Amino acid sequence: MVPDSELGASVQEAIEALKRGEVVCVYDADGREEETDLTIASQFATEEKIRQLRKDGGGLVCTTMTPAIADRFGIPFLVDIYAKAIDDYPILKAMVPNDIPYDAKSSFAVTVNARDTFTGITDIDRANTIASFAKVIEETVGWEQPQSIEKFGSVFRCPGHVHLLVAHEGLTKTRQGHTELCTALVVMAGLVGSATICEMMSDTGKARDKASAESYANERGHVFISGKDIIDAWETWSE
């Protein structure tokens, strides 16, 4: 562990913003997805924040977790679930995602709704599901997997409208997608190891470009940070 002051100015600003429950804009990298995600710490999810992600982002609202959290609940990658079902459903073999141009493996896991939601898709319902996810993570620290699974199942149903993402082991040391970048930020901030993210889309049919996303951040008073800054800080913080 190192002091925030040694992580770089932009990372310090992002960490403090996340601690305040604010949105942070995270750009991955030139030559990768070249996308900016609106990011919040999942524990601070509210109806208003999810509405902002939905309207100002416009991509897919997803909620991340560290590998350790996924292990606690036994949450698998979706591609691994499909691999187990190939013999029963040959179409899954035909659709193996072995040609992602910027990545080796997707981070998608299962989708969930909190059991006390209705349709699950409204801003209120999704905020409830996401905040409940962070709360369950906090409540089950130190629990054995069977008890954690029982608790998880009592709070959530599957499938649902919140897409869970599992960050890869080592976070940005092994994969440098928004799942890992944003999860690394909340971990370095000392928050629950889950971020909620949404890609910024434009009206051109493509992702919002970096300059436009940075202008949006400046207009809204949000921190804008590049993936490289997070990767460098994580390398220092996790030593």
Annotated active-site positions, please?
37, 62, 102, 113, 161, 199
Instruction: State the virtual CA torsion across 26, 171, 20, 212 in degrees, nearest 10.
Output: 0
Helix (H, G, I), strand (E, B) or coil at 228: helix
Name the burial class of residue 5, with classes exposed (0-12), middle (13-18) and buried (19+) by CB atoms within 10 angstroms of its CB: exposed
Residue 102, C-beta contacts closer than 8 angstroms, at least 6 positions apart: 31, 32, 33
Instruction: State the virtual CA torsion across 4, 9, 13, 14 in degrees, nearest 10.
Output: -80
Single out the residue of 48, 40, 65 nearest to residue 223, CA to CA. 40
- Can you list the alpha helix ranges (DSSP code H) found in the chain? 9-19, 47-52, 67-73, 78-84, 90-94, 123-139, 145-155, 178-188, 210-220, 227-237
| Unique residue bearing structure tokens 């072995």 | 98
